[in-house]
Amino acid sequence: MSDLNAHHLSRFRLFFIEHAKLVLVVLLAVAWLLPGLVGHDPWKPDEAYSFGLIYHIYQTGDWVVPTLAGEPFMEKPPLYYIAAAQVAKLFSPLLPLHDAARLTSGFFIALTLALNGLAARELLGKGKGRIAVLVLLGCVGLLVRGHEMITDTALLAGFALAFYGLALSLRRPLLAGLLLGTGVGVGFLSKGLIAPGVVGVTALLLPLFRPWRCRNYLLALGVALLAALPWLLVWPYALYRRSPELFHQWFWVNNLGRYLGFAKLGPTPDRGYYLETLPWFAWPAWPIALWALWRGRRNGMSQPAMQLPLVAFLVILAVLLSASDAREVYALPILLPLSLLAAAGVDMLRRGAAAALDWFGLMTFGLFSGFLWLGWVAMMTGWPAKLAERAHYLQPAYVPEFKPLAFGVALIYTALWGILVTRLGRNTRRAIVNWTAGLTLMWSLLTTLWLPWIDTGKTYRAMIADLQQSLPPRYDCITSQSLGEPQRALLLYYAGILTQRRESQGRECSLLLIQGGADNPPRLGREWAQIWEGARPGDRSERFWLFQRHVSRH
């Protein structure tokens, strides 16, 4: 009887420990996710133009044609913008409209984390899902982008859902096919052909390995095709019915043209851009993933747990390297397979490597967080004087103000980080937990103590208010020249100012708003008189001028 009681007690203890670990990971994920989602204006470039598209759907309910400041903007499908408009309606009584809309990114990132954890558990076994979540949260490249109001967060959730479907396909083909097809559809309606292309090529390459040449996998792919069709057809059909020209602009120019380069859109990269970016962007996932591949080079490569993330990683990397334009945000999907590979490698780390990563994380985030506290004290008190002077020089318009809530949250994060890093047991998982906790602490300090200072230099609110006060009592319309999409969107949001681009409109208005460099002021004819000039506080490169046309009298 005593042996039976001891057995039940041991099982209960293991159950409690496993669930306590899960709760710790969930709490750490929530602590990572919440800071930065609210409390600041839309920042350029991506947040500002994204909010302009959300704002149009919020005001009009028209989801077929993405519209920015009165003009069709066919760069991406509308799933994220539709979702954000609905979330904004739900939460805007409690939050500013742009903050409420940004919560959508929090939802998609939370979904991504959960699905990535489920995929790791399916591929690698019990307990590995928590590690995959910690590794993904610890990736430096996800930190800022995961808190921005951008459609790439929805794309990431679509990829995570599709990869979970692939991971499940060998065991539960019907459910897997539904998840896989839905993931492809979510990715497609978030950012176009990239998700169907990557997931499709990955799915076709997996049967090169024996485990994937089976009836279950084939059945899952068939179900996935059926599940994806509504996502792939409904919006494109509605867009084509509305305007074949806009459909052509979206499909041919902004999808194929951007990728192949004939549309001349986006920055032109050097061939080594992603090879230079990924070492910091995917840190610390990539070295742990490489170690997992090295340790599993003999027997591990015959297992689906290694085959799926490796093939997905190689396909995504090939797509990135072959694209005609490049930005680091485009590399977000590659973090998913890397985190799955790294989840297999964390427990394989040698003690010396794990201790080195642990020490590096503690020193890096400990020192950086200490500097953030010291800099904040300098702004509040004027001591140390050098730091206070430097902070004022970088953001001269910022007026220091003590915010008790932000201070309290920052203090709690710091105390909890100190408790966590001193109480964890000595094992290889400690390194990734401490790394992610340190990254979370640094982010929390930036988005509590330093957020007002950062937002002062990034927001256009004060500049647009000043511009609005300088408008003449009567004018017909405002033409813009070289005015960026983020600025056009924020002019409409903050001041209700709808500009007409000189580059695409034939009409000349009585007012002309020009954006340019501070060192290159515009030179216009005598019929134009400058009535306003402005810039964001502390911005020494970007400047704006407002001109009024003289009315000739005969």
Average pLDDT over residues 517-536: 90
My answer on whether 320 and 374 are in the same domain is no
Ramachandran quadrant class, 497 (left: phi over 0; alpha: psi -120 to 50; beta: rest):
beta
pLDDT of 33 reads 98
Report which DSSP code applies to 67.
E
My answer on whether 492 and 429 are in the same domain is no
pLDDT of 554 reads 44
Cα torsion angle, 307, 312, 313, 317, sign: positive
Read off the pTM: 0.95
Nearest 5°: phi and psi at 502? -65, -30
DSSP 4-31: HHHHHHHHHHHHHHHHHHHHHHHHHHHH
Most confident range (mean pLDDT) of 186-190, 298-302, 420-424 is 186-190
| Residue 157, pLDDT above cutoff 70 | yes
Contacts of 244 (CB under 8 A, 6+ apart): none
Domain presence at residue 279: yes
Instruction: Give the percent of the chain with pLDDT over 70.
Output: 94
Cβ density class 115-149: b for 16+ within 10 Å, e for less: bbbbbbbbbbeeebbbbbbbbbbbbbbbbebbbbb
| Residue 6, pLDDT above cutoff 60 | no
My answer on whether 24 and 146 are in the same domain is yes
Contacts of 408 (CB under 8 A, 6+ apart): none
Last residue of a domain, one of 453, 470, 489: 453
101, 41 contact by CB (below 8 A): no
Average pLDDT over residues 302-322: 95
Domain presence at residue 101: yes
Domain that includes residue 366, residue range:
351-453
Which of 10-19, 191-200, 342-351, 408-417 has the weakest average pLDDT?
10-19
Convert 178-228 into a string of H (helix), E (strand) and C (coil).
Answer: HHHHHHHHHHHHHHCCHHHHHHHHHHHHHHHCHHHCCHHHHHHHHHHHHHH
Is the model more confident about 295 or about 232? 232
| Residue 274, pLDDT above cutoff 50 | yes
My answer on whether 443 and 514 are in the same domain is no
Give the integer Cα–Cα distance in Å for 402 and 463.
24
- Choose among 87, 101, 89, 94: nearest CA to 59: 89
- Which tokens sit at 276? 């230079």
Count of residues in the chain: 554
My answer on whether 520 and 467 are in the same domain is yes
Number of domain units in the chain: 3
Average pLDDT over residues 18-28: 87
pLDDT of 465 reads 96
| Residue 16, pLDDT above cutoff 60 | no
Last residue of a domain, one of 422, 453, 484: 453
DSSP 85-138: HHHHHHHTTTS-HHHHHHHHHHHHHHHHHHHHHHHHHHHH-TTHHHHHHHHHHH
Rg (alpha carbons) of the chain, rounded to whole number: 26
Last residue of a domain, one of 404, 425, 453: 453
My answer on whether 381 and 424 are in the same domain is yes
My answer on whether 364 and 259 are in the same domain is no
490, 52 contact by CB (below 8 A): yes
